[in-house]
Amino acid sequence: MQQLLQIFILTPFVAFLISLLLPSKNERAISFIAIASIGIHLLGLILFLAYWLVHKFPTLDIKHLTLFQTADIEIFIDFYFDKIGAVYSLVGSIIALIVTIFSKTYLHREEGYKRFFVTLLFFFTGYNIVIFSGNFETFFVGWEMVGITSFLLIAFYRDRYLPVKNAMKVVSVYRFGDICLILAMWMSHHLWSENITFLELNDLSLVTAHLQEHYWFGVFVSVMIVIAAAAKSAQLPFSSWLPRAMEGPTTSTAIFYGALSVHLGVFLLIRTYPYWETIMSVKVLIVSIGLSTSLIATLIGRVQSTVKTQIAYSSIAQIGLIFIEVALGFHTLALLHFAGNAFLRTYQLLVSPSVLSYLVHDMFFTFKSIELVPSNRFKNSIYVLSIKEWNLDSLLHQILWKPFKWIGNRFSFFSKKTIAVLLMAGFLTGLFCYFYQEVVHPEVIDFLPFLYSFIALVLILKAFAERGDALNGWFAIVSSQLFIALSIALLNENFEHNHILIYLSGSVVSAVVGYACLKRIKDIDNNIDLNQFHGYIYEQPRVALVFLIACLGLIGLPFTPTFIGIDLLFSHIHKREEVMIIFTALSFLFLEIAVLRIYARIFLGQHKKAFHPIAFKSS
């Protein structure tokens, strides 16, 4: 029975590969492949669930594929299935089929028809990997796939300013959650000395003994999981990204931000519940996040003027309640609540355009006068705060992103020549110290890893804040990867050469391909500054596609060896080396944002040449 689990991942993935080969104008074939594959997925899942229930719903676990193995670490793909996976997979498959059938007509003659269905199938593959994952590594593969498809579908109307800008906002919050999950995996590796599976986490005696010995490290892992879940499910203080994600097509909004993707944070909490159920402080934290989110999101949703924003905040409020249910141990109720909320929001979002067209002739506006009298001050303050969405968007920007952008601007004097000199001098020195450690003073060896990780972070922040030539930003990003690899190689004497090669094999190829694409665009008009959107996807769609693949390879998406390399790099940072893990985590946090920012600025948005059609700013 365990062997059948992989079928539910391969079905949408094979359909995704077939769709890539179909011509863009053949709408009938494109939609048929998507609908047929998801329909087969749902039918097979129903038959599997019936067989599973007849056999008294056993917990299934299978170690599917080993990606990398040494004496100290093993990275493998593991599939797992229980009642939580059953509910999420069934609800996901039904909603995906409904949305796909609806999209067949809704997106008829849309320019990005094929692009939508291809991205949707890739998302559904990632969603199933998350649901059927048996360990954190497998979970993270699907988690990353869901994140990148979110970016692509929010920016679906790529000739408009707001969809592209909001796609970057959403992917920034997603990336923050990704890094928290990476940190949870990093600490978990050190505490368990193995790649722990979700099946092993259900062993209460094993987890209890582990937490008694490493209580505060267990709290750290749990808090990182909670932050990652809150970011993915748009809980406070990350709630503002969900309404911004509504810039994509209504159908992708329904399946992503009404039904499936936004509930993956809940899934993460339920799946890891055995780990943190005995840590009262973590349960209090989850209840506090859920309660405060439900209250504030309800207040915001009641005064919004757009139907999609109202639905978004209503969904956020319900997910906050589900967070509370999970923390209190009411998992069956939480699963029922998830299914009800997912189906309701899907329905509301799919019919929202029709509702607006029905009521457009009967619209009326109610103006509320705010009287500054003592009895109404509190009520009026709440009303104004809710209208402004409690300034969550600007607050997140001020606290999370602006300080690092300020730091990056302080190093704007770094030109390509400066970075090249720094790279040659510093990197060659580091290589010498790495290969001839016996002739170098031990204190120098101890100091260099922190210096190089700091240099890598500075280069990433410079690229993150870059407003000039895109090649400067790209060169800074690539240089930072070399310094990250060298810093960790010097940090751990057990670091093997092939670990660096695994990490750099994907990064270097992607870096060269990306540089060639940017150079190609610069040769056209000698202007690829990052202070505006250029929209070159109109004139150079193939170059844009190749550059996007290079970007995904550079940031370590699952189809590259860099993905395994990142896991290896983090595993060599000891749990007591706080400064090193902070620098490295921040570097990988801003790496994806800086890379995708270059892609968005150069290839997306309204084309800067006036003879191209000018789109509306918002969808």
Domain around 590:
411-603
- Residue 615 in any domain: the answer is no
Are 356 and 499 in the same domain? no
Are 417 and 297 in the same domain? no
Is residue 618 pLDDT above 70, yes or no? Answer: no
- Residue 226 in any domain: the answer is yes
- Residue 402 in any domain: the answer is no
Report residue 367 CA to chain centroid gap.
Answer: 40
- What is the average pLDDT across 10-25? 92
Instruction: Give the span between the Cα atoms of 291 and 148, in whole angstroms.
Output: 29
- What is the average pLDDT across 375-393? 79
Which run of H or of E encompasses 418?
A: helix 416-435
Instruction: Give the span between the Cα atoms of 101 and 95, in whole angstroms.
Output: 10
- Residue 399 in any domain: the answer is no
Q: For residue 245, which of 316, 178, 312 has the smallest C-alpha distance?
A: 312
Task: Give the pLDDT band (50/70/90) at residue 403.
Answer: confident
- Contact call for residues 127 and 92 (beta carbons, < 8 A): yes
- What is the average pLDDT across 101-124? 90
Are 334 and 479 in the same domain? no
Are 353 and 418 in the same domain? no
- Residue 396 in any domain: the answer is no
Are 233 and 156 in the same domain? yes
The number of folded domains in the chain is 2
Are 40 and 171 in the same domain? yes
- Read off the pLDDT of residues 36-75 as tens digits, 9 standing for 90 and up: 999 999 999 999 999 999 988 888 888 877 777 776 677 8
Is residue 12 pLDDT above 90, yes or no? Answer: yes
Is residue 204 pLDDT above 50, yes or no? Answer: yes
Greater confidence (349 vs 227) lies with: 227
Are 316 and 416 in the same domain? no
Are 164 and 15 in the same domain? yes
Identify the DSSP state of 110.
-
**DSSP string of 455-476?**
HHHHHHHHHHH--SBHHHHHHH
Task: Give the pLDDT band (50/70/90) at residue 611.
Answer: low
Are 306 and 449 in the same domain? no
C-alpha to C-alpha distances, 178 to 131, 148, 282, 593, nearest whole angstrom:
17, 11, 19, 12
Which run of H or of E encompasses 205?
A: helix 204-213
Is residue 619 pLDDT above 50, yes or no? Answer: no
Q: For residue 80, which of 185, 140, 178, 6 has the smallest C-alpha distance?
A: 6
Are 295 and 432 in the same domain? no
Greater confidence (377 vs 475) lies with: 475
- Residue 110 in any domain: the answer is yes
**DSSP string of 359-401?**
HGGG----PPP----GGGHHHHHHHHHHHTGGGHHHHHIIIII
Are 358 and 415 in the same domain? no
Using the CB atoms, write b or e for 36-75: b if 16+ within 10 Å: ebbbebbeebeebeeebeeeeeeebbbebeebbeeeebeb
Instruction: Give the span between the Cα atoms of 283 and 77, in whole angstroms.
Output: 29
Are 6 and 105 in the same domain? yes
- Residue 380 in any domain: the answer is no
- Read off the pLDDT of residues 443-478 as tens digits, 9 standing for 90 and up: 777 778 888 889 889 989 988 988 888 898 898 898
- Residue 57 in any domain: the answer is yes
